Amino acid sequence: MTQHHRIGGGLVDRSQSLSFTFNGRTMQGHPGDTLASALLANGVRLVGRSFKYHRPRGMFSAGPEEPNALVTLGEGARTEPNTRATMAELFNGLQAASQNHRGPLGFDLMAATDLLAPFLGAGFYYKTFMWPRAFWERVYEPLIRRAAGLGALSGQDDPGLYDKGYRHCDVLVIGAGPAGMAAALAAGRAGARVILADEDFRPGGRLLAEWHEIDGQPGADWAAAAWAELDGMEHVRLMPRCTVFGVYDHGICGAVELTAPDTPEDRPRQVMWRIYARRTVLCAGATERSLVFPGNDRPGVMLAGAVQAYANRWAVAAGRNIAVLANHDGGADLAEELRAAGLSVAAVVEAHNGQGVAATRGRLGLRGVTLGDGRRLDCDCLAVSGGWSPNIHLTCHLDSRPVWCDDIQAFVPGSVLPEGMRVAGAANGAFSLPDCLAEGQAAGRAAAEAAGHPAAAPVHRASGIAHAPAPVWRTGPEKGRAWVDLQNDVTAKDIALARREGFGAVEHLKRYTTLGMATDQGKTSNLPGLALLAGATGRSIPETGTTRYRPPYTPVSIGAFAGRERGRHFRPVRHTPAHDWAARLGASFTESGLWLRAEWFARPGETGWRDSVDREARQTRAAVGICDVSTLGKIDIRGRDALSFVDFVFCNGFASLPVGKVRYGLMLREDGLVMDDGTTARLGEHHFLMTTTTANAGPVYRHLEFVRQCLQPHWDVHLVPETDGWAQFSVAGPKSRALLSRLVDAPFDISNAGFPFMACAELTVCGGTRARLFRISFSGELAYEIAVPARYGNALGAALMEAGADLGVLAYGVEALDVMRVEKGHPSGNELNGQTGPVHLGMDRMASRRKDYVGRARLGISHVDGAEDVQLVGVRPVREGDTLWNGAHFLEPGAAATLEADQGWMSSVTHSPALGHAVGLAFIRNGAARIGERLRAVDLVRGSDVEVEIVPPHFLDPEGERLHA
């Protein structure tokens, strides 16, 4: 195909040709074309099929409001469905295909649906697909799913790259038409930091489509010169191809920037920006409306402004013999322009003077119209204008409402606007060029001055008038299908039907008919639909009101919202300071929050994780094991009131803790339930080191800062997070002291007398490396934790292994750690899950009744409904070979598995290598008083029902002899 419909003039670069394909046929275009303009230039009018009736459809507009020309770009994994051809910038090699048809585009088998139109009116699905019920999921749903939608995804991972970013400015100008340019020039020349964003790849807005002069130059030239001037200002950032899609609180706007089509594939194709603007000037222009008349959906029926834009900007004849239908005097002006471009004008139909179009003909493309007076005209294009609607959407995203303006028969921004926003130009209902320029200039100046940059007041010279539309929304007879929403195939009859069926409120109309609910969001159809509804209900349009505007203004890809946060960027991975050591030792790693932690260290010959874990637990209890516990939170607390602070944040007493000792602390939330537990060491008179669980390092720190700053602001206490600064190992087992004695530098006394249970100290190890030592135990064995600055983490692990080789030292992971703590009966995350208090954990006596602390007021009061009286106990299977399952619930023998009969649940389970059978920790109603009782542990998901005995939770060494060895 050659470009038979290309005419003279325009703003495309004819010196270069671009090759593209549509439905497999190769065609040519030029830089500056959109896919739509290039298709029209090649004489392609049919580009798709409508949603419901599969009617032939062609280009309707030239901009983002396009309801018909939705195509699929690309192929394979790079397929991009539902792309507006009017917004797709042409590039060499572009591949496009039409959507929503079975068989060729010109012979869509699904077009038979159109014959069923009388049965497929608004809301038909509420009245059909009822019977038989068995067909719902097996027949109706698959059929409807296949029929629904327009384009189709590839089903493959999207290889495209996306990113996000943040920009700040004094003045954000949205729209680079005449008003926006004037605003940006005024603000930029005043020295304000300006961002000028426009969704188009070429600035100028309607200046590119219409014949105007500004300051003695053609409008398009003036726009280019203004753009160049702005580009030369260091404090001005230009963002073409950037759609501001939403306005949010505090002057923040969301925008999506498309990169140029020739951007390499290893760069993002879209960037989502969060723009923080002190002031915003909305110059988003206006969108033309159509008129409602029978047969108004044929390929060739287009918005008049689009016909004008194709002719003037893209040098494309939308038709060779064009009729014009308008409800204002602008139709005559357009006709004059088209004749000057060498096109034939069949007629100018003035709807504001009682004329109209009663019918159209031409199935795959317009061939003619029948006028209201019965005359038949031949034409291949009908340019329709029902007036212009200001693009007020962004003004309403924060719930303000637009107001009706009779003068232009449109809604304009209301008096309450988002913080810092002004509206100028056509978006404000000012349709003449001089008014656009003046408003833009004033708004830009005001915005700059509000941001502290006094601005001059240049005047742009231009002339032009606006044509006020008559309140005519419909022409032609009521008989015959007249489309209102082209994309969702909503007709005037649907609106009348909705009204008859009681859906007379505009929000109900929208949802019942789906008017305005397609990807074009009703940009060309909402107002005609409102007008018809108003007429049907005997109300005015302002009385009828509008639906609520919400972001995004135009569709935004999910990829843009995700940005780079996929794959390795989905979330950061944190390595402990001893990670390399563990990896060299063959650790299997698991995710613990963002951390990677060694879960076990498999040895040759072991057939599964149980072999490794059981070995690690057994050998640790028999000799000595080391475990990297660096991920536990560490918070340095100092100050003259540090002791009072620590005593205030824990429910148990710390006031008597001497220097050089560690104490277990239970930290409550303000509701009296447990937030976290850990040990706190008193390293000095006014110096403490608090540990937290891994998962709660951040939340506990935030909580402590809240206590410090808000609850006790007069105290001298300061917090410094130290988690990342130290590598820490647990050294556990009967030979742990022997092992550590080989590392600690003299004269440190690590004997039981010199360093008893729950002692702490700062010392040096390995010939002078500073360290901290804590004698604490999570495993129940004689145990210590040794910490060195993080840079020595790998080396410490290696040193412990080397020093303990003859003692039988081994490394153990978090699985063995968990086995040992369950055997010992220590609660952990499963038990401290935010739903339990001290009384449930059997720690009620720990919670002081004498001092004030966080959570004291609600102590013993807050609980989870249905779990008021549960208490932590141990359980063991009556038959030693039985398996216990975490999450199992307990029932009395013979009881039915009902909520009412539920006695509690299993919170932690392990196989105990020490005991040779499974053990569990459980929350059982009045558990402490039921030791020795037998219940059933029932897991309906896994089909398990095991008889268990309630026992004390400390399965090993309940007297703690090993701890104090």
Closest CB to another protein among residues 574, 661: 574
| Residue whose token pair is 């699904």 | 110
Which CB, 573 or 711, lies closer to another protein?
Answer: 573
Distance in Å, CB of 165 to another protein, minimum = 4
> What does each C-alpha distance from 33 to 20, 62, 404 come to in angstroms?
11, 11, 36
Alpha helices in 481-603 (DSSP H): 492-500, 506-513, 526-537, 541-544, 558-562, 579-584
Q: Report the alpha-carbon distance of residue 233 to residue 453 in Å, rounded.
A: 15
Q: How far is the CB of 805 from another protein (least distance, A)?
A: 10
Q: How far is CA 162 from CA 265, 305, 343, 567, in A?
A: 11, 34, 44, 12
Question: Taking the CA of residue 541 as centre, how many other CA atoms within 13 Å lie in the half-sphere pointing to its CB?
Answer: 20
Q: Which of 772, 771, 778 lies closest to 732 in space, CA to CA?
A: 778
Q: Give whichever of 179 and 738 is closer to another protein, judged by the CB atom.
A: 738
Place of tokens 């990342």: 724
Q: How far is the CB of 791 from another protein (least distance, A)?
A: 4
The three-state DSSP-derived secondary structure of 904-951 is EEEEEEEEECCCCEEEEEEEEECHHHHCCCEEEEEECCCCEEEEEEEE
Q: Give the shortest CB-926-to-another protein separation in angstroms.
A: 44
Looking at the Cβ atoms of 212 and 638, the one nearer to another protein is 638
Q: Which residues pair with 168 in a beta bridge?
A: 276
Task: Supply the minimum distance, in Å, between the C-beta of residue 598 and another protein.
Answer: 15
Cβ 424 to another protein shortest distance, Å = 25
Could you give the CA distance from residue 291 to residue 476 in angstroms, rounded to a whole number? Answer: 10
Amino acid occupying residue 474:
R
- Which of 619, 622, 603 has its CA nearest to residue 611? 603
Q: Where are the beta strands (DSSP E) in 264-367?
A: 270-282, 286-288, 301-303, 321-326, 344-350, 357-361
Minimum CB distance to another protein smaller for 267 or for 363:
267
Query: What's the rounded Cα separation, in Å, for the pair 410 and 388?
Result: 7
What is the closest distance, in whole angstroms, from the C-beta atom of residue 555 to another protein in the complex? 23
* 291, 424, 428, 529, 905 from 407: Cα distances, Å: 18, 17, 13, 19, 71
**Nearer to another protein among residue 140 and residue 276 (C-beta):** 276
Whole-number minimum distance, CB 726 to another protein, in Å? 7
Rounded to a whole number of angstroms, the distance between the first and last alpha carbons of the chain is: 93
Cβ proximity to another protein, 187 vs 462, nearer residue: 187
Burial of 805 (0-12, 13-18, 19+ CB in 10 A): exposed
Based on CB atoms, which residue is closest to another protein, 161 or 443?
161
In the complex, least distance from residue 576 CB atom to another protein, rounded to whole angstroms: 7
Query: Residue 236 Cβ, how far from another protein at the closest point, in Å?
Result: 12
Name the residue among 456, 86, 546 with its Cα closest to residue 305: 86
Residues forming contacts to another protein in the complex (CB under 8 A) are: 161, 163-168, 193, 266-268, 271, 274, 276, 564, 568-569, 571-577, 580, 595, 636, 638, 716, 718, 720-726, 742-743, 765-767, 769, 788-796, 799, 802-803
Measured from the CB of residue 74, what is the shortest distance to another protein in angstroms? 20
Separation between Cα atoms, residue 919 and residue 823, nearest integer Å: 7
Single-letter amino acid code for the residue at 805? A
Question: Given the complex with another protein, which of 70 and 578 has the nearer CB atom?
Answer: 578
> Residue 36 and residue 98: Cα distance in Å, rounded?
12
Q: Measured between alpha carbons, how far is 747 from 463 in angstroms, rounded to an integer?
A: 95
Nearer to another protein, 376 or 718 (CB): 718
- Burial per residue of 421-454, b for 16 or more beta-carbon CB atoms within 10 angstroms, e otherwise: bbbbbbbbbbbbbbbbbbbbbbbbbbbbbebebe
CB nearer to another protein: pick between 542 and 699? 699
Q: Which is nearer to another protein, 654 or 792 (CB)?
A: 792
- The nearer residue to another protein, 233 or 426, going by C-beta atoms, is 233
Distance, CA of 965 to CA of 963 (rounded, Å): 6
